[in-house]
Amino acid sequence: MKKFIQTGVIGHPIKHSKSPLIHNYWIDHYDLKGRYEAIDIHPDDLINRLPVLFKEEGYTGFNLTIPHKEIVLAVCDEIDDVARDIGAVNTVTFKDEKIIGTNTDAYGFVTNVKETLPHFNFNGIHATILGAGGAARAIVYGLLKENVSKIYLTNRTQAKATQIKNDFNNDPRIEIMDWDSRENILDKTHLLVNTTSLGMDGQAALNIDLSPMIKGGVVCDIVYAPLMTPLLSQAKANELSIVTGIGMLLHQARPAFKAWYGIMPEVDAMLENKVLAT
Ligand code: ATR
């Protein structure tokens, strides 16, 4: 008989998370026994609460979201190289009485680009990342692993971009640019990634003119509400390729599900439509 596997996502707040829909869809789709819940835990309580959920309440794994991705490092018994290099954990698994942390955001980003544009090749390209929050950190990691030759990193608060470069051992491929000169690097940019919250429902649009961007370039937004952000609409109008944000959310969930349920799940149109409809 199949074991009932309890998993979930921990955040604060957490009620808007789409992760329960994604994982419970796969539990049904693959005819597994289990449940994935949203659990609200205050950041002050995480370090005490997480071991209890594993050791006394029988959970197998969790995703971590805002504001827990860095706090959770303190309670992991082991973290893998990816989480260590990114400096954040978004997935924990309880295995052999140990809490093991990893980070699947870089995988989610890179896989989404590859699935959307199968002919796109990261090797040797110049990328520009707008923003320097947690998502930008994971994307820098993913792009360096994919052997891009340059990452222009620009953020309203420049010190945060500089901190990322420091945390990646001052990798010479990362170049910090002034936020106000973000348009000046577009004529050298093959891949532009928006990791800021600009363009999200209720937020101002990102102020940028894409017309100087390299012909055949790609614009990727990690915002997925709306799916077609003003940035992506402008990219389309400029005949650039686009990658929407929903795929990063869906693909980052796959390795976590595999770690807990033993199956690498597929992203299908029905799942994507369900997530977009909620
Ligand atoms: P995430 O974990 O999704 O990356 P985050 O860590 O809160 O989220 O980062 C949000 C990003 O959006 C930051 O780069 C932020 O810039 P600051 O570091 O200067 O705050 C950026 N951002 C948010 N509002 C912005 C605005 N109005 N103009 C420019 N950048 C903005």
- Which pLDDT tens digit goes with each residue over 89-116? 999 999 999 999 999 999 999 999 999 9
With H, G, I as helix, E, B as strand and everything else as coil, classify residue 218: strand
Taken in order 104, 240, 207, 124, the sign of the CA dihedral is positive
Q: Is 132 in the pocket of ligand 1 (CB under 6 A)?
A: yes
pLDDT tens for residues 139-174? 999 999 999 999 999 999 999 999 999 999 999 999
User: Closest Cα to atom 26, ligand 1: which residue?
Assistant: 198
Does an H or E element contain 8, and which? strand 5-11
Q: Note if 69 is an active site residue.
A: yes
Q: Is 131 in the pocket of ligand 1 (CB under 6 A)?
A: yes
Cα distance between residue 256 and residue 112, in whole Å: 16
Q: Is 90 in the pocket of ligand 1 (CB under 6 A)?
A: no
Q: Is 241 in the pocket of ligand 1 (CB under 6 A)?
A: no
Q: Is 197 in the pocket of ligand 1 (CB under 6 A)?
A: yes
With a pLDDT cut of 70, the percent of the chain lying above it is: 100
Model confidence at 26: pLDDT above 90:
yes
Contacts of 42 (CB under 8 A, 6+ apart): 12
Residue 104 exposed, middle or buried by CB count within 10 Å (0-12, 13-18, 19+)? buried
Cα distance between residue 20 and residue 36, in whole Å: 6
Tell me the sheet residues that pair with 243: 220
Catalytic residue among 3, 15, 18, 69: 69
User: Closest Cα to atom 20, ligand 1: which residue?
Assistant: 157
Ligand 1: nearest atom to the Cα of 135: 4
Ligand 1: nearest atom to the Cα of 197: 12
CA nearest neighbour of 60 among 106, 8, 108: 8
User: Closest Cα to atom 18, ligand 1: which residue?
Assistant: 157
Residues 237 and 211 sit within 8 Å (Cβ to Cβ): no
With H, G, I as helix, E, B as strand and everything else as coil, classify residue 278: coil
CA nearest neighbour of 87 among 49, 156, 136: 136
Residue 272 exposed, middle or buried by CB count within 10 Å (0-12, 13-18, 19+)? middle
Per-residue pLDDT, 278:
87
**C-alpha 197 to ligand 1 mean position (Å):** 6
Strands lying side by side in the sheet with 61-64: 34-40, 5-11, 61-64, 91-95, 98-102, 78-79
Q: Is 195 in the pocket of ligand 1 (CB under 6 A)?
A: yes
User: Closest Cα to atom 3, ligand 1: which residue?
Assistant: 135
Cα distance between residue 153 and residue 220, in whole Å: 15
What does the pLDDT average to over 228-238?
97
With H, G, I as helix, E, B as strand and everything else as coil, classify residue 266: coil
For residue 91, the Cα-to-chain-centroid distance in whole angstroms is 12
Could you tell me how many residues make up the chain?
278
Q: Is 63 in the pocket of ligand 1 (CB under 6 A)?
A: no
Cα distance between residue 195 and residue 224, in whole Å: 11
**pLDDT band for position 188 (cuts 50, 70, 90):** very high
Q: Is 67 in the pocket of ligand 1 (CB under 6 A)?
A: no
Tell me the sheet residues that pair with 75: none
Identify which of 156, 178, 195, 200 to mutate to test ligand 1's pocket (most ligand atoms within 8 A of the CB): 156
Model confidence at 39: pLDDT above 90:
yes
pTM of structure: 0.95
